[in-house]
Structure 1
Amino acid sequence: MDQRQITACDEDGRLYPIGKLDAHRRGVRHLAISVFVVSAGEVLLQRRAAGKYHSPGLWANTCCSHPDWGETLADCAHRRLAEEMGLRLTLRGAGIMDYRADVGGGLVENEHVHLFFAECDARRVTIRPDPDEVSEHRWVSVASLDREIDALPQAFTPWLRIYMARAEETGIAQLRCQRARR
C-alpha cells in the first residue's frame, strides 16, 4: 500500500503533510491534479489497473494523482502523465474545483483539484501506459462519453462523473462546443 506523504489543506488554506492512505481513510481535504489529454474533440481515457487500491477497473480521465509533500501541482501533473501514460506534453491550467466522493472500501476522495489540459494529435503520439496503473486506454468523443456515463455510470470513477456533470468548471464544456462547431 502506498505510504507517500501528500499535501493536505485545512479550511484556512494551510498546507501540511499527510499519508496518502490516511487522507483517504479519514476523508481529509487534500490537493490533487487531474489531466485531460484531448485530440480533435476527443478525450483520452484510462481504465484503472485491477491492482489499484481504490476504484480498480473503472474508466477515468487521462491522469489523476496527488502531489507529494513539497511538490508543485504542475510538476506532479507532468510527472504522473509521464509515469501513468508515458506522455510528455505541454500542459495548461484549466481551473480549480473541490469535490468529495466515496470511492468504496471506506475510502473518500476529498479533493481540492487543479485541472490541466494538453492538446495533441492522437495519430502522432505514442501512449505507453504503466500496466500497474492502467489496464487499457481509449479516445472517446465528449458526446459519446456523456452517453456512456448516462447508460452505465458504475463503469466510471466518481471523479470523472463529477467532472462531466460540472463541465463548465472542468473545461469539458468547451470541448462540447468545439465538437459542435466542426
Structure 2
Amino acid sequence: MNFIDIINEDGEVVGQQDKDLVHQLGSWHRAVHIWIINNKREILIQKRSPNVDAYPNLWDFSCGGHVDADEDLLTCAQRETQEELGLTDVLSLKFVFLFDFKDSFTLNGGKYINNEIDSVYLVSLDSSNLKISMQTEELSQIEWVNYQELEKRIIEHPEGFVPRLYEYQKFFKYLMTYFVEHSVK
C-alpha cells in the first residue's frame, strides 16, 4: 500500500489514505509537477504510458506525482524526478517553486476522481551530458522541445496534451520573466 496525505481544500492535512482509494473516493490530496528546461531553451516533456489510468498516451510536463504521506513538496519533487527520469543527482538540482493550483476532474465513467492541489516547479539544467533513464511503467516517450514550439503545439493540437490549460498559460508566462531575469539565450 502507498499512503498519501489527505487534505482539505485549503491544503491542510486531515488524514492519510491509500493512493488507490484516494482516486476512487475523490479525496483531496497534493501532487507536484516539474518542468525541466535546458540551456538551449528546450523543455523536457513526457508522453504518458498507455497503461496509466489518467490521460494515457498524452504529452505532459517533465515529471511529477503524488506527495506521499508525511513527505514535503520539495522531497516529493526530487523523488519523482529520480524515479521517472532516473536522474541520480537530484539534490544538486535547484527546484524553483512557481505556483499552486487546484485541479479536479473525473475520468473512466466516474471510476477515477481526481481532486488535488498541484505545486508546480521549474528546474533549469545543462542537458549536454545528461543521462536520462525513463521509467517505462508511467512514461512511453520523452522529448526536448523548444519552448516556443511547445507552446505552439499545445495551442494547435491541444488534444495531444493532458488538458492543463491554466497550468500551461501560467507556466509560459513565467518563462518569459525567467528568460529576462536569467539572460538565457
Question: Which band: TM-score by shorter chain?
Answer: 0.7 to 0.9
CA-to-aligned-CA distance 1:55-80 (integer Å, 9 cap, x gap): 11111111110111111211111111
- In the alignment, what sits opposite 2:116? 111
Would you say 1:166 and 2:170 are equivalent positions?
yes
Cα drift, residue 121 of structure 1: 1.5
- In the alignment, what sits opposite 1:144? 149
Instruction: Note the 1:19-168 alignment, pairs <5 A.
Output: 19-40=18-39, 41-87=41-87, 88-89=89-90, 90-102=93-105, 104-105=107-108, 106=110, 107-159=112-164, 161-167=165-171
For structure 2, the residue ranges without an aligned partner over 5 or more in a row are none
- The answer (yes or no) to whether the contact 2:49–2:137 under 8 Å persists in 1 is yes
Range with greater deviation from structure 2 (123-132 or 95-104): 95-104
Partners of 2:21 and 2:79 in 1: CA distance: 23
The count of aligned residue pairs is 178
Cα drift, residue 113 of structure 1: 1.8
**1:86–1:150 CA distance, 2 compared to 1 (3 A):** same
Partners of 1:54 and 1:75 in 2: CA distance: 23
Partners of 1:91 and 1:103 in 2: CA distance: 33
State the TM-score, normalizing by the size of structure 1. Answer: 0.84
Runs of 4+ aligned structure 1 residues displaced above 4 Å come to 175-181
- The answer (yes or no) to whether the contact 1:7–1:66 under 8 Å persists in 2 is no
SS of residue paired to 1:74:
helix
For structure 1, the residue ranges without an aligned partner over 5 or more in a row are none
> What is the root-mean-square deviation of aligned Cα atoms in Å?
2.5
- The answer (yes or no) to whether the contact 2:44–2:144 under 8 Å persists in 1 is yes
- The answer (yes or no) to whether the contact 1:85–1:130 under 8 Å persists in 2 is yes
AA aligned opposite 2:20: L
SS of residue paired to 2:69:
coil
**1:111–1:173 CA distance, 2 compared to 1 (3 A):** farther
Partners of 1:62 and 1:73 in 2: CA distance: 16
SS of residue paired to 2:155:
helix
- The answer (yes or no) to whether the contact 2:84–2:134 under 8 Å persists in 1 is yes
CA-to-aligned-CA distance 1:81-107 (integer Å, 9 cap, x gap): 111011133132323312224262133
Percent identity of paired positions between Structure 1 and Structure 2: 24
Cα drift, residue 35 of structure 1: 0.8
Partners of 2:66 and 2:161 in 1: CA distance: 19
CA-to-aligned-CA distance 1:25-58 (integer Å, 9 cap, x gap): 3333211111111102211001111111211111
- The answer (yes or no) to whether the contact 1:101–1:158 under 8 Å persists in 2 is no
AA aligned opposite 1:81: T
